[in-house]
Amino acid sequence: MHCTTCGAELEHPGQGHTCRSSTPPPAVRTAGWNVATWFTVGFAVLFVVAAIAAAVFSSIASDRARPLPPSDLGAAIGFVLANLILAAAVIGLAVSALIWGRGTRQLAEAHGSSGRFYSRHWGTRVFPACVVASAAIAWLAADRTAPAILFGQAALRTLGAAALIGGMLHSRARVLRLIAHANRVGVGHYSPVAGQDPAWPLSPTPTSEDWNAGQWDPEVQRDIEARRRRNNT
């Protein structure tokens, strides 16, 4: 059963819902949103590379005695540069992710769905949890320069970045499906519902099923079935 005004799918007659306009969604530019998507992916990859490099250089420098020979000095400098790149990647990742989330909400809402439903994906929860866990194991460890601790941190950071990329790309694919579905719906039969995926559009040409009350009213369908059973007994 669908609303006769906006085409939203209803569970029962007279169900309250957000009845949107039948006007097709406006054309929204996605170029900036696509750029923000790939910037976020790029910064996440840079974050992973810097995290692994920091673990490698730190393990090399911590295994040597003092004073530092030239090779150890190079490892120490590499460790400092890797951490600087890591900090820059975190800042860039935060900024690009915020821009991407804002664009995702705007696109989803412009096509009749909830913006938070698409922008707050599972990767936004896994990534900070992994970053906090990597900091916690270093803080609790007796020897922060032990290779197991260093590479454990790198592994957690890599897992968090991979989850962020995967969740964002999954959410991006869902937004693209939402836009494609909205663009396929004919004028006067656009049926998005806030917080849900768009309902199936109504056919612009009435058919025999449109006049069958049992197809859209469960009360009528139950009454028909009850009369059929009484007639058969």
pTM over 0.85: no
Produce one character per residue of 96-130: b if its CB has 16 or more CB atoms within 10 Å, e if not.
bbebbbebbbbbbbbbbbbbebbbbbebbebbeeb
In terms of Cα–Cα distance, which of 49, 41, 52 is closest to 167? Answer: 41
- What is the pLDDT, as a whole number, of residue 145? 75
- What is the pLDDT, as a whole number, of residue 21? 46
| Proportion of the chain in helix, strand, coil states, percent, rounded to 5 | 65, 0, 30
Across the chain, which has 233 residues, the per-10-residue mean pLDDT values are 61 59 52 89 94 86 54 75 92 92 86 78 89 87 79 92 92 86 54 40 52 57 73 71
First to last CA, the chain: 31
Question: What confidence tens digit (pLDDT) does each residue in 128-153 have?
Answer: 999 999 889 888 877 777 888 889 99
Decide if 138 contacts 153 (C-beta within 8 A). yes
- What is the pLDDT, as a whole number, of residue 169? 92
Which residues lie closer than 8 Å to 36 by C-beta, 6 or more apart? 96, 99, 100, 103
Decide if 130 contacts 198 (C-beta within 8 A). no
- What is the pLDDT, as a whole number, of residue 85? 93
- What is the pLDDT, as a whole number, of residue 121? 86
